[in-house]
Amino acid sequence: MSKETKALTINPQLAAFQEELLKSYDKANLSAKKGQTLFVGSSLMEIFPIEKWEEAGEVTFSHYIYNRAVRATTTSFLLEHIESQIFNLEPSKIFINIGTNDIGFEVPEEEFLNNYDQILSQIESKLPQTQVYVMRYYPINTVDFGQDSDEKTLFETRSNEKFQKASDKIKKLADNHHFHFIDVNDGLSDENGNLKKELTFDGVHLNPASYQLVLENLKVYLEE
């Protein structure tokens, strides 16, 4: 990872939050049931309120779904913490959404794809019976958002074109490992391919209504 990329990921408050979240995952993993389903990735997966819905009895699946995602992280972070985020749970299914921050932080494409490939290789080696689902990146909305300074910074290096081109490349990685590559974005985009305004709070991250749609699209894979 370049020095510039590291600088974007070591905000003291953010780093402290990530560390505490990982500690909470390590603690929870001690009593977690093995062989369940795992969601892992960056903020787009972390804020998926699947465990909240499960605990409230709003959704029930044959396997419990654990969420071990960490916001503002890249493929290199997942590689570094792969035991806590993946292997300690010994899941039977893994759904991965990681890499949009690599693109946003301008991690060199070769490094990003190599990291992703290493993640998949380690899973293939250590969890040979696990079903792995690599997710196409969600659409974003740069039309209705991006006016304030924070959003402008967010969109400087992010676009639907970049994300979908990258998705096509990680599909090839998934295919090489004989893993599933899935598109669960049905219903998220408007007629121009942008994330619907009412489904996001900043143009990039999804709101609960979005995740309800994504979950509906995921059900066929969760129960197969």
CATH number for the domain spanning 37: value is 3.40.50.1110
Range of the domain at 82: 3-222
Residue 2: pLDDT over 80 = no
pTM above 0.85, yes or no: yes
Confidence band, pLDDT 50/70/90 cuts, at residue 9: very low
Dihedrals φ, ψ of 192, to 5°? -100, 5
Closest by Cα among 100, 91, 73, 87 to 165: 100
Rounded to an integer, the average pLDDT of 69-76 is 96
Strand pairing of 37-41 and 65-67?
parallel
Residue 5: pLDDT over 50 = no
Residue 208: pLDDT over 50 = yes
Residues 6+ apart with CB under 8 A from 94: 37, 38, 40, 86, 123, 127, 130, 131, 132, 133
pLDDT reported for residue 11: 64
* Cα distance between residue 158 and residue 202, in whole Å: 13
Could you give the number of structural domains in the chain? Answer: 1
Rounded to an integer, the average pLDDT of 119-134 is 99
Average pLDDT of the chain is 93
Residue 24: pLDDT over 70 = yes
